[in-house]
């Protein structure tokens, strides 16, 4: 009986760890969901291997434990790869940005979210699935008189940008034929410092090749932008996924610290970061944190602070 149990659980754990190692076999959208969970799969696999070894005493389980530790360690290294030194001592213009997917069906909390955003103190706010805010746009406009989205530059209310400063060169871009106007590009000038802004709502990575294709299309536009750059939004994928890493590398995007988990909210800090805010020099991120309350959304929002160095 013990031999049979050892065989069964060893096979199951092998398949589980193989799922967490698929990036080393083939970078394909069919496996995309496992890429973001590599760290979690590695940790759970290591714990399972320890428990099974104590009970079943199989040497093969030790091999599986080493395998689990290896993919866990690599996932941790990948999560820190794009962390740049915080720039608290850098001289320049302070800037604060919030990015929040409020959930398109979250109408019951639309008013409280609008009030929170209006009192947030951010210079610019990116909102995804922003339909619940439509009845409160005039309230938000008292603090943020400049807007993209919801009948300004586009008829859609999915992606919105709120700003305290005029949005120069504002335009929406359709990244694929699946959904329109899910990339917003603009510039703001604060105290003679001009900052490029890019907000994105990227398709889920298991929708064929759309996720990778949309990131590639966004990169072509981002590379043409000169000067400090802040990119944020709902990417529906962790930064360690292969296409996300290529996106960050191609555009020299950095973060200031370990990215907080934003989804699913039930997992709290043990979830995965699928919402991101990135910076490109001479914009230096000094702090990145999760908003404390999801306010009825299925995502936590993010708040980032920057120093924009004068060129």
| Res 88 pLDDT > 60 | no
Please report, for the chain, the start and end positions of each structural domain, with discontinuous segments joined by +.
2-80, 93-308
Mean model confidence pLDDT for the chain: 90
| Res 25 pLDDT > 90 | no
What is the predicted pLDDT for the residue at 311?
64
What is the predicted pLDDT for the residue at 84?
75
Q: 178, exposed or middle or buried, with CB in 10 Å at 0-12, 13-18, 19+?
A: middle
Q: What is the CATH number of domain 93-308?
A: 3.60.10.10
What is the predicted pLDDT for the residue at 28?
67
Residue 187 or residue 92, greater confidence: 187
What is the predicted pLDDT for the residue at 46?
92
Pairing mode of beta strands 193-201, 168-173? unpaired
| Res 103 pLDDT > 90 | yes
Going by C-alpha positions, the residue among 232, 242, 300, 305 that lies closest to residue 272 is 300
Going by C-alpha positions, the residue among 56, 67, 50 that lies closest to residue 5 is 56
What is the predicted pLDDT for the residue at 109?
97
Residue 195 phi/psi, 5-degree rounding, is -125, 130
What is the predicted pLDDT for the residue at 9?
75
Residue 166's pLDDT band (boundaries 50, 70, 90)? very high
Could you read off the pLDDT of 215-270 as tens digits, one per residue? 999 999 999 999 999 999 999 999 999 999 999 999 999 988 789 999 999 998 89
pTM of the full structure: 0.91
What is the predicted pLDDT for the residue at 79?
81
How many Cβ atoms are within 10 Å of 202's Cβ, its own excluded? 27
What is the predicted pLDDT for the residue at 150?
94
What is the predicted pLDDT for the residue at 30?
63
What is the predicted pLDDT for the residue at 107?
96
Could you read off the pLDDT of 289-308 as tens digits, one per residue? 999 999 999 999 999 999 99
Helix (H), strand (E), coil (C) string for the chain? CHHHHHHHHHHHHHHHHHHCCHHHCCCCHHHHHHHHCHHHHHHHHHHHHHHHHHHHCCHHHHHHHHHHHHHHHHHHHHHHCCECCCCCCCCCEEEEEEEEECCCCCHHHHHHHHHHHHCCCCCEEEEECCHHHHHHHHHHHCCCCEEECCCCCCCCCCEEEEECCCCEEEEEECCCCCCCCCEEEEEEEECCEEEEEEEEECCCCCCCCHHHHHHHHHHHHHCCCCCCEEEEEECCCCCCCHHHHHHHHHHCCEECCCCCCCECHHHHHHCECCEEEEEECCEEEEEEEECCCCCCCCCCCEEEEEEECCC
What is the predicted pLDDT for the residue at 214?
96
Residue 29's pLDDT band (boundaries 50, 70, 90)? low
Residue 18 or residue 132, greater confidence: 132
Residue 86's pLDDT band (boundaries 50, 70, 90)? low
């Amino acid at each position: 009986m013990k031999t049979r149990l050892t065989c069964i659980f060893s096979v199951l754990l092998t398949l589980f760890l193989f799922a967490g190692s698929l990036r080393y076999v083939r970078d394909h959208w069919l496996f995309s969901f496992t890429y973001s969970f590599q760290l979690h799969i590695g940790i759970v696999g290591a714990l399972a291997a320890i428990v099974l070894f104590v009970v079943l005493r199989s040497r093969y389980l030790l091999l599986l434990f080493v395998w689990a530790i290896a993919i866990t360690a690599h996932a941790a290294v990948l999560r820190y790869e794009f962390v740049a030194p915080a720039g608290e001592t850098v001289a320049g213009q302070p800037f604060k940005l919030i990015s929040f997917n409020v959930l398109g069906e979250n109408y019951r909390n639309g008013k409280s979210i609008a009030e929170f955003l209006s009192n947030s103190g951010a210079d610019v706010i990116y909102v995804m699935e922003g339909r619940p805010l439509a009845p409160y746009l005039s309230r938000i406009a008292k603090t943020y008189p400049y807007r993209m989205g919801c009948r300004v530059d586009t008829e859609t209310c999915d992606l919105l940008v709120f700003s305290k400063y005029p949005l120069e060169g504002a335009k929406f871009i359709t990244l694929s034929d699946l959904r329109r106007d899910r990339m917003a590009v603009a510039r703001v000038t604060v105290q003679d410092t001009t900052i490029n802004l890019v907000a994105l709502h990227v398709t889920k990575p298991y929708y064929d090749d759309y996720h990778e294709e949309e990131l590639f299309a966004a990169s072509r536009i981002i590379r043409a932008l000169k000067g400090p750059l802040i990119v944020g939004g709902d990417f529906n994928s962790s930064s360690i996924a292969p296409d996300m890493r290529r996106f960050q590398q191609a555009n020299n995007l950095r973060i200031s610290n370990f990215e907080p988990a934003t989804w699913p909210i039930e997992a709290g800090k043990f979830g995965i970061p699928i919402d991101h805010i990135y910076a490109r020099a001479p914009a230096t991120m000094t702090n990145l944190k999760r908003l404390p309350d999801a306010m009825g959304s299925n995502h936590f929002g993010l708040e980032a602070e920057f120093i924009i160095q004068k060129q």
